[in-house]
Copies of this chain bind each other. A is one copy, B any other.
Amino acid sequence: MTSRFDFQIAATDGAARTGTITMQRGTIRTPAFMPVGTAATVKAMKPADVRAGGADIILGNTYHLMLRPTAERIDRLGGLHKFMGWDRPILTDSGGYQVMSLSELTKRSEEGVVFKSHLDGSRHLMSPERSMEIQRLLGSDIVMAFDELVPTDTTRDIQAKAMERSMRWAKRSREGFDSGEAHAARAALFGIQQGALDEGLRKTSADALIDIGFDGYAIGGLAVGEGQEAMFGVLDYAPGQLPADKPRYLMGVGKPDDIVGAVERGVDMFDCVMPTRSGRTGQAFTREGPINIRNARFAEDTGPLDPECRCPACQGWSRAYIHHLVRAGEILGAMLMTEHNLFFYQALMADLRDAIAGGALKTFANDFRARYIREKQQ
């Protein structure tokens, strides 16, 4: 029988590592990018095409799924994998971020959070125990602890209190996860480090999580508007505060150059809506930076979205055609843009893994940055 959760580092290069996570539903090559499948679908993509792009694992959103179609319904229908037709690993977030950013909070206490659904205004309780229950009902492979978020521009005292509560909730998450024995026997649980931009708080948080013990460790509370410089500032020390023999997951990151810099600093896993969401609005990633395909300069451009890309969209259709589709609001435009962007991200991860394995990450990263213009060219 395949192990429940086994992380093997095949090679390191500076702080960066490449390896594999082996789970019952499949192997995850790291550094890994997880496409976001919010509402039981990676938007505008069939699962087979997500896989063909190179994804070993996708992310599902607890908050969205608990509200529609509900975790209980997904459980009755055989779990999230069967429901959406993806048989490889799924990581589910805890719901905490969306509860606090998308819904109207009506109560926040040590017990948990009461919130109103953004869909119909109905009231729901979210707590560490409930989050574990929902992720179990979904049939998640990698379950995230439920934590409390505060903005990075609040006071150190507020950040410290939120971090401390998050650590108490991490322990309750561990207990809640372990109580679901059949699920715990095959799934993994990740803790989430908090502490905003404060190295001391980050260290306290890391130690508390290590004391509880998790299969992997996420770096939370970043990519919330603090900017790349501040984020990299935290990533200069945060990964080193976490166990070297466990995967490190930077939640909600990011742009391609964010990922390159985070991998250089020792991060193993990423998720972000960037390739899917921005694809639907007309932003295509290329080796030279993102382009806005709606721009008039692409109206008669017969080249592919990215001349160096080998994705199906770039093999089959021109910038001119996709420009037309996106301008006309055609669904196929969203499909082709998403397919390309996901493929671009996965190709970047493959390049990063190869560079680390070959001891050439610094050269690769510098070459990447020399060409890549972060901001969208109009």
Interface residues of A in 40-90 (CB under 8 A from B): 40-41, 43-46, 68-69, 73, 76-78, 83-85
- Cα–Cα, bound, A83→B328 (Å): 15
Q: Indicate whether A372 reaches chain B with its CB closer than 8 angstroms.
A: no
Question: Is A83's CB under 8 angstroms from B321's CB?
Answer: yes
- Cα–Cα, bound, A41→B320 (Å): 14
Q: Indicate whether A332 reaches chain B with its CB closer than 8 angstroms.
A: yes
Question: Is A84's CB under 8 angstroms from B321's CB?
Answer: yes
Q: Indicate whether A377 reaches chain B with its CB closer than 8 angstroms.
A: no
Query: Which B residues are in CB contact (< 8 Å) with A328?
Result: 39, 68
Shortest CB distance A265–B (Å): 35
**Given known contacts A69-B324, A321-B84, A327-B68, is B44 in contact with A332 (CB within 8 Å)?**
yes
Shortest CB distance A244–B (Å): 39
Query: Which B residues are in CB contact (< 8 Å) with A84?
Result: 317, 321
Contact with B along A325-344 (1 / 0, CB 8 A): 10110111011000000000
Binding site for B on A (CB under 8 A): 39-41, 43-46, 68-69, 73, 76-78, 83-85, 280, 299-300, 302, 316-318, 320-321, 324-325, 327-328, 330-332, 334-335
13 further A-B contacts with Cβ under 8 Å, apart from A40-B325, A73-B299, are: A39-B324, A39-B330, A44-B331, A68-B324, A68-B328, A69-B299, A69-B320, A73-B300, A76-B300, A77-B318, A78-B302, A85-B317, A331-B334
